[in-house]
Structure 1
Amino acid sequence: MAETLKYWKKGDWAAYFGLLANNLTNLLTMVSLLLFVVGFPPEIIYGRIVPGFGLGIFLASCSYFIFGRMLMKETGRTDVTALPSGPSAPSIFTVTFLVILPVFKTTNDADFAFSIALVWCLFEAFILIVGAFLGDTLRRIIPRTVLLSCLSGLGLLLLAMNPMLQSFETPVVAFVVLIIIFLNWFGKSPIFARIPTGFLLLAAGTILAWSFGLQSPEAITAALQTLGFNPPEVHVSSLISGIPHALPYLASAVPLGLANYIFDLENIESAHAAGDPYKTRRVMLANGISSSIGAFAGNPYPVTVYIGHAGWKSMGAGLGYTLATGTSMLIISLFGIGALLLAVIPVVAIVPILVYVGVVTANQVVRETPKIEVPVIFICLFPWIANWALSLANNVLSAAGTTGQAVGAQVLAAKGVYYNGLVHLGSGAPISSLMWGCLAIFSIKNQPIRAAIAAVIASILSLFGIIHASTVGFAQPASMQFVYAYLMVATLFIIKYLMDRNKPQENAAV
């Protein structure tokens, strides 16, 4: 019994509910997009994709549990927190809109679109597997402040911002939940201390939501119709048939694969900063292999180290929460009960937990950053802010039946919306945030050669449309201004280096 209890703590409950809610939200988002936007057949969604989706998360969760246990034995510590696992949230939109939707609309062949998407995921997994052997080197090269600052932007804008907006749409539920979080997790004098905070949040939110009529019994009836057992199947033939036709769609896999790779690096560094030094290669290989197996089982969406390790650790979570989440996601995916859970437990009772995790993730960089490097935090935030604002603007324009291109950048600029700036700054945010963080920190620390190298790399990334462009492509006209600008910046840093070299008394760093 003691052996079992060692892997489950009081804090695991709150972390379990929070991480499960995030994974469930991603699952339901994916299902909704495929059903209502793409028009994919339900039998493919529930019979092939969803079971593979749950299997991929389960395998990654098992790996993270094992890695946590290994770290416990290696260090002799009992306060180790396992890494959280989940799908790559950006890939849900990328695979759906850039791969499945265009192929399906062009060919009207759901099986063919499904096979192309599986090849796309397998290519993503390959990037993670190859990158596993470079991860430790990159973590040594890229300053910790930059990695954590990029992660703080991801935490605040992609994880916490929309949940905060949802909270303000239903304040009669969310405000009480938020204040309980402030009291129990940020404060030192918790309310109802004998009750696990995670359970308290869900109970309070659920009671308030039903009391104010925000939940519908009809939703439960509708959700019951999705129940049924759908075991994962092996889809080797679908993968093989998709390979010859997948090349045009793999271009979008490169920038997203690099972005997922950077996410993993940042989250591993975040765990290290919080006191849990996981081995980069192990984690990357686990993600790549889990994504590969998931693809063979029918899941076109890769898995990743999910954001929030510092938040879950601050709740007192150990190893059990991640394994419990992965197991729950597998069961939910096999039996189709995700919609039923969210019909009973309101999302608005859960999303404040994600606000907390985003804030704690951002706060971590503040604690870990030397005073002179603090400006780097805010420099790294700008691409994420632009990325979030661009998504918001595009969604608003789409709801109005138009696009930014149709309205015109000049018309939007006249209203104070610099649409082209949002496109350039927000596109490729994970990588451009990293590059600008490097440029800022190497400038602050007077390391001009490193800064020049970063500028040249940014120029190459711009040349291929991986950053600052809405689509990948070589030497696109709109991208060339960034190619030249970064090369000019690299030249400036080289001039700075040469000037410093003639001033040996200043001991300028290289």
Structure 2
Amino acid sequence: MNTTTRPHWISSGDLNGFLGLVVDNLSIMAFLAAALIGIFGMPPDIVFLRMFPGTTFGVLVGNLAYTAMARRLAQRTGREDVTAMPLGLDAPTSIGLALLVLGPAFLHFKQSGLDQHAAGVATWQLGMASLVIMGVLKFVLSFFGGMVQRHVPRAGLLGSIAGIALVLMGFLPLVEILKLPIVGFAGLGVVLYALVARARMPLGLPGVLVAFVVAALLYYVLGPLGWLGTGYTPPVAWQWRFALPLPTLQWMNGMAAAVPYLPLILPFGLLMVVGGINVTESARAAGDDYRTRDILLVEALATLVAGFCGGVAQTTPYIGQPSYKAMGARSGYTLLTGLVIGLGGVFGYLSNIVELVPLSVLAPILVFVAIGITVQAFEATPTRYAAAVVFSFFPAIARMVTIKLSDPTYVPGDRLQALFTDRAHGFSELAVITVLGNGFIITSMIWASFVVAMIDGKPLRAAWILLLGGALSLFGIIHSVQLSGGIYLPWLLDDASRLLAWQFAGAYAVLAMVLVLLTTATRFTQSDTA
């Protein structure tokens, strides 16, 4: 074995890999900004000067570490075809954090009396605290990732994230597409043509890049002509934004505000640990034998660094390492991506690029990602568990409905609270939908897991899972009876809320008892007929 082999820093395949990885990260950053600024009205300076630098710095740190790991593996094995693990911002959790945590929290801070800027700062601190919590969780679970993977069935893990993908990453961006159908539908068609139908693009260009170009040209050519109606917004002037991602303790100020969102934040971290295990196995199957713990520790480190430096979106190794390997990418593409994305957050050119890309241009890529994640949930799960995967989607649908109902544009906050607490005729539909959607990621895992146990002929295991679900619902970790989705001690609730909490917890307990009784009766019957 030749242990002195030193791979080239940049290969021709690294340029293709770099383009694809940069576009992936750029699209997530753009949607994060579009959601927080365009949908929720957060001040742009908070997003671009406080959130972006730390977020992109995490991408830089993680990609530099993965580059070093790839070069070390190449030297140790004497191979020049080692491909680095791609790292970037995780699409489902970054978008989920924006739509489910940061955006609603910003509106809550404003309703509590803070002005626009103060509410933005409080939201930024909450985002940092969320990232630190996820980073610590990922660090701890990196030593127990295998155990987590063994005890939570794949249908529960993939089903829960597919639910996020289908209704949040798929349906909501599809609505944005159809706000500017000429632009968005054309971009979506190109994405489906290139990435779903796998048709070859002219000059071998990446399909995502072609979709970007087509949609952007339609937007900036037809918009000034008035053919897009009021949906066209002229590009903003280029602004010089310089902000160093310096470590700060302001995340500590957001810890208290992050507590009600723990049922969302903790599953986001858990999903990335399991995802890191899966992508490491995928890379190993492609010929690059990385240590799973090293991959997970780098992922946790990058997330913690981002959180300490002002970031609000977590990093993760991407599932497409074999695809980058097939492109001929080695270790240079992660180095280039880390530098371009990391420095882009510092010197501000990334925010200017993001401002030039309207949401209708980005949304088609997100719809494709949503389709891919949902399809993977079914392909990677045995067919007999398909019903469990589908069953796990319902809490995510409830959460999407709650998000739209919580938009003060449609239902004022005081009116929504009145509808939620009006139980003159029993539990209102709005209350049931909201309670079902609160903590929906963990709920999806619980639901899929107990259905999988029943399919496997293990009703007692299903009963234990249901009892766990009942215990979690009692404290608001799932099925929170508060409109905000917060956790609580049930004995401190008012009478009506406590009744609702006990009803949901009791539902799990009763079903668990039914399964135990059915199992006992079946065994008794079988022993009598034996």
**Both proteins in one fold, TM over 0.5:** yes
Q: Which of 182, 204, 212 does residue 202 from structure 1 map onto?
A: 212
Cα distance in 2, alignment partners of residues 84 and 412 from structure 1 = 49
Query: Which range is displaced more, 248-257 or 477-486?
Result: 248-257
C-alpha change, 1:88 and 1:79, in structure 2 (3 Å) is same
Instruction: Indicate the residue corresponding to 2:26 in structure 1.
Output: 20
C-alpha change, 1:200 and 1:141, in structure 2 (3 Å) is same
Query: Shift of residue 321 of structure 1?
Result: 6.1
- Deviation readout 1:251-301 (Å, 9 max, x if unpaired): 2253233221232145336536866677664444334333332333233x2
Residue 172 of structure 1 aligns with an amino acid whose one-letter code is: I
Cα distance in 2, alignment partners of residues 412 and 357 from structure 1 = 43
Cα distance in 1, alignment partners of residues 193 and 127 from structure 2 = 45
Tell me the SS of whatever aligns to 1:4: coil
Cα distance in 2, alignment partners of residues 324 and 115 from structure 1 = 30
Cα distance in 2, alignment partners of residues 311 and 424 from structure 1 = 39
Instruction: Indicate the residue corresponding to 1:441 in structure 2.
Output: 452
Paired residue total: 490
Cα distance in 2, alignment partners of residues 395 and 99 from structure 1 = 12
Cα distance in 1, alignment partners of residues 70 and 397 from structure 2 = 33
Instruction: Indicate the residue corresponding to 1:348 in structure 2.
Output: 360
Cα distance in 2, alignment partners of residues 281 and 181 from structure 1 = 35
Residue 514 of structure 2 aligns with an amino acid whose one-letter code is: L
Query: Shift of residue 473 of structure 1?
Result: 0.7
Query: Which range is displaced more, 148-157 or 489-498?
Result: 489-498
Query: Which range is displaced more, 102-111 or 345-354?
Result: 102-111
Q: Please show how residues 29-68 of structure 1 align to structure 2 within 5 Å.
A: 29-30=35-36, 36-37=41-42, 42=45, 47-63=49-65
Cα distance in 2, alignment partners of residues 365 and 3 from structure 1 = 36
Determine if contact 2:138/2:272 at 8 Å carries over to the other structure: no
Residue 380 of structure 2 aligns with an amino acid whose one-letter code is: E
Instruction: Indicate the residue corresponding to 2:308 in structure 1.
Output: 296
C-alpha change, 1:124 and 1:270, in structure 2 (3 Å) is closer
Q: Which of 400, 407, 416 does residue 404 from structure 1 map onto?
A: 416
Instruction: Indicate the residue corresponding to 2:3 in structure 1.
Output: none
Structure 1 residue 462 corresponds to structure 2 residue 473: yes
Q: Please show how residues 101-500 of structure 1 align to structure 2 within 5 Å.
A: 102=109, 113=122, 118-119=128-129, 121-192=131-202, 194-213=204-223, 218-221=234-237, 224-225=238-239, 227-236=240-249, 238=250, 242=252, 248-252=256-260, 254-268=262-276, 271=279, 281-299=293-311, 301-305=312-316, 309=319, 313=323, 324-395=336-407, 400=412, 402-407=414-419, 418-469=429-480, 470-475=485-490, 476=493, 477=498, 478-500=500-522
Structure 1 residue 94 corresponds to structure 2 residue 105: no
Determine if contact 1:146/1:434 at 8 Å carries over to the other structure: yes
Query: Shift of residue 427 of structure 1?
Result: 1.0
Residue 267 of structure 1 aligns with an amino acid whose one-letter code is: G
Cα distance in 1, alignment partners of residues 37 and 336 from structure 2 = 22
Tell me the SS of whatever aligns to 1:327: helix
Query: Shift of residue 191 of structure 1?
Result: 4.7
Query: Which range is displaced more, 89-98 or 490-499?
Result: 89-98
C-alpha change, 1:95 and 1:284, in structure 2 (3 Å) is farther
Cα distance in 2, alignment partners of residues 53 and 191 from structure 1 = 32
C-alpha change, 1:88 and 1:348, in structure 2 (3 Å) is closer
Cα distance in 2, alignment partners of residues 74 and 288 from structure 1 = 26
Unaligned runs of 5+ in 1: 506-510
Structure 1 residue 85 corresponds to structure 2 residue 89: yes
Query: Shift of residue 483 of structure 1?
Result: 1.4
Query: Shift of residue 175 of structure 1?
Result: 2.3
Tell me the SS of whatever aligns to 1:305: strand
Determine if contact 2:62/2:87 at 8 Å carries over to the other structure: no
Q: What is the alpha-carbon root mean square deviation over aligned residues?
A: 4.1
Determine if contact 2:31/2:95 at 8 Å carries over to the other structure: no
Tell me the SS of whatever aligns to 1:230: coil
Residue 151 of structure 1 aligns with an amino acid whose one-letter code is: I
Unaligned runs of 5+ in 2: 1-6
Cα distance in 1, alignment partners of residues 179 and 188 from structure 2 = 13
C-alpha change, 1:494 and 1:276, in structure 2 (3 Å) is farther
Instruction: Indicate the residue corresponding to 1:508 in structure 2.
Output: none
Residue 22 of structure 1 aligns with an amino acid whose one-letter code is: I
Cα distance in 2, alignment partners of residues 489 and 371 from structure 1 = 25
Cα distance in 1, alignment partners of residues 322 and 357 from structure 2 = 21
C-alpha change, 1:217 and 1:360, in structure 2 (3 Å) is closer
- TM score, norm. by length of structure 2: 0.78
Cα distance in 2, alignment partners of residues 96 and 60 from structure 1 = 26
Query: Shift of residue 218 of structure 1?
Result: 4.5
Determine if contact 2:282/2:321 at 8 Å carries over to the other structure: no
- Deviation readout 1:160-184 (Å, 9 max, x if unpaired): 2222222222221222222222222
Cα distance in 1, alignment partners of residues 166 and 70 from structure 2 = 26
C-alpha change, 1:45 and 1:337, in structure 2 (3 Å) is same
Query: Shift of residue 458 of structure 1?
Result: 0.8
Determine if contact 2:303/2:314 at 8 Å carries over to the other structure: yes
Cα distance in 1, alignment partners of residues 503 and 448 from structure 2 = 20
Determine if contact 1:386/1:425 at 8 Å carries over to the other structure: yes
Determine if contact 1:60/1:303 at 8 Å carries over to the other structure: no
Query: Shift of residue 375 of structure 1?
Result: 0.7
C-alpha change, 1:344 and 1:46, in structure 2 (3 Å) is closer
Tell me the SS of whatever aligns to 2:457: coil
C-alpha change, 1:450 and 1:400, in structure 2 (3 Å) is same
C-alpha change, 1:147 and 1:83, in structure 2 (3 Å) is farther
Cα distance in 2, alignment partners of residues 439 and 55 from structure 1 = 40
% same residue: 20
